[in-house]
Amino acid sequence: MGIILALWGFHRRCRLNTGLAKVAVQCSADTFVVNQTLVLRINICGENRHLRQARKRCAICQNPTNKTFIMKQIKYILGILFLCFNSNLNAQQLNQPALDSIINQSKRTNSNVLLIYQNNKLVYKNYFNNPLQKIEAMSATKSVVAIGVGILLDKGFIDSLDQPVYTIYPEWKQGNKKLITIRHLLEHTSGMQNVPNAGEEIEIAPDVIQLALCAELDNIPGSTYSYNNKSSNLLAGIIEKTSKLKMDKFLDKYLFSELGIKNFSWRKDVKGNPYGMAGLQIYPEDFAKIGLLILNDGNWNEKQLISKLWINDMVKPSQANKNYGYEWWLTYENMYYSFDDDLFATFKEKTDDNTFQLITKLKGKYKGMKEVRDYAIKIYSQDELKSVGKVLQSIQPSQLKMVNEGELLNYAASGYLGQHLIIIPRKKIVVVRMITADNFNAIPNNSSMENLRELANEL
């Protein structure tokens, strides 16, 4: 399809039929993008028929000085038009309704920034009138820590993921703790005692590494998935113990500096340990570089920073939780919450027999908790709904059983308030959405855009 780009010159003394000098450039989209230099050269050199006519009709244009000025203006404006056109062309390759939905939801939730890359090019950027600033990645930090563990393995600082932690921290060579491996920490199956709210225990601890080492075990290592901030903090300690560098320094040396990430910071405990559970404060476009690195199988500017083997292993589902790899969340073609006998068994100790029998009526598969709530409203009386709702609210989201069907569509680093770094390999897309606490709290009952991973699949 032909495209007409109209360039209106700002030569106020030039009077044509329209009152301004008009340059029309007609070409196909493919020609404009692929042969951009040729197209611009044709226009700048005055080979375009409309520009030749404009020159003939404007005596001022015949003046060499004015002519040079006009040509510089034309070159400048055509360059801007090309950049805008090329960006729009890339954005037009996305599913527009899906893009509009993501943009609108980002606005409604007061997001600080939304970035979308396709084929390694930035095709959409919106800071929603917010200043450019570093934003804490919250629990999305865990996914960056996992990359650090991969670098440890690639460079021989550790022998394997099945290396027992006690070989690094000898105090764990006792009881069931001696069974815990680095893999267990990455998959959150270490069995360590767990307090989901970091503010109740970890944030107030002066030494988070020692806190993790002193934790009791709630489960046999490797048997149960339980999202555990202590595990991620201990990974930061393992990086330091094996590489002789604090984790933030290690990642700066082997990852960030290679990506051109020069300005970042990391929250630390009183003793100076960088948190592994959260704490990375980074500019959004630098955060996107990490996603692009993963999208390109660990290769950056033709240099392999992380092995492709590690990237593949990092986003494979773990045995205990098919939605989780090594600190990365996984999204499949079809995902359901499964309310089955295994899940009901976790409710039995939390309620009386009558309420337990009511809960078993929810047996089935649900695409989301909204579907669970809608069905509950249909089958329960108001009093029954209150009893069941009280029990369901006591269950952590990570305890709900997910069933995955179909193709693995994306993997994501996600964190508190709705920090998201999403990679969609089959479409070569990377999505970044970030938000500060101030922006999040400015909207009553704000959403963390938990559905962004599903929406992004439609782009």
Position 109 confidence tier, pLDDT thresholds 50, 70, 90: very high
| Residue 107, domain member (yes or no) | no
| Residue 447, domain member (yes or no) | yes
Can you tell me the mean pLDDT for 421-433? 97
Rounded distance, CA 125 to CA 106, Å?
A: 12
Q: How far is CA 17 from CA 14, 54, 57, 60, 65, in A?
A: 10, 10, 10, 16, 24
Model pLDDT for residues 38-72, shown as the tens digit of each residue: 333 333 333 344 444 444 444 444 555 555 665 66
Instruction: Specify the number of domains making up the chain.
Output: 2
CA-based nearest residue to 4, from 76, 85, 77: 85
Asked whether residue 222 falls in the same domain as residue 318, the answer is yes
Asked whether residue 70 falls in the same domain as residue 194, the answer is no
The share of the chain scoring above pLDDT 70, in percent, equals 79
Q: Domain residues for 7?
A: 2-91
| Residue 122, domain member (yes or no) | no
Asked whether residue 85 falls in the same domain as residue 139, the answer is no
Asked whether residue 72 falls in the same domain as residue 161, the answer is no
Asked whether residue 77 falls in the same domain as residue 165, the answer is no
pLDDT of residue 49: 42
pLDDT of residue 384: 93
Asked whether residue 25 falls in the same domain as residue 158, the answer is no
| Residue 411, domain member (yes or no) | yes
CATH number of the domain encompassing residue 319: 3.40.710.10
| Residue 365, domain member (yes or no) | no
Pick the more confident residue, 321 or 290. 290
Encoding tokens for residue 58?
């404007």
| Residue 172, domain member (yes or no) | yes
Domain boundary among 64, 91, 118: 91
pTM of the model: 0.76
pLDDT of residue 260: 98
| Residue 389, domain member (yes or no) | no
Asked whether residue 270 falls in the same domain as residue 194, the answer is yes
Domain boundary among 72, 91, 110: 91
| Residue 115, domain member (yes or no) | no
Asked whether residue 80 falls in the same domain as residue 142, the answer is no
Asked whether residue 440 falls in the same domain as residue 313, the answer is yes
Q: How far is CA 174 from CA 162, 179, 211, in A?
A: 17, 9, 17
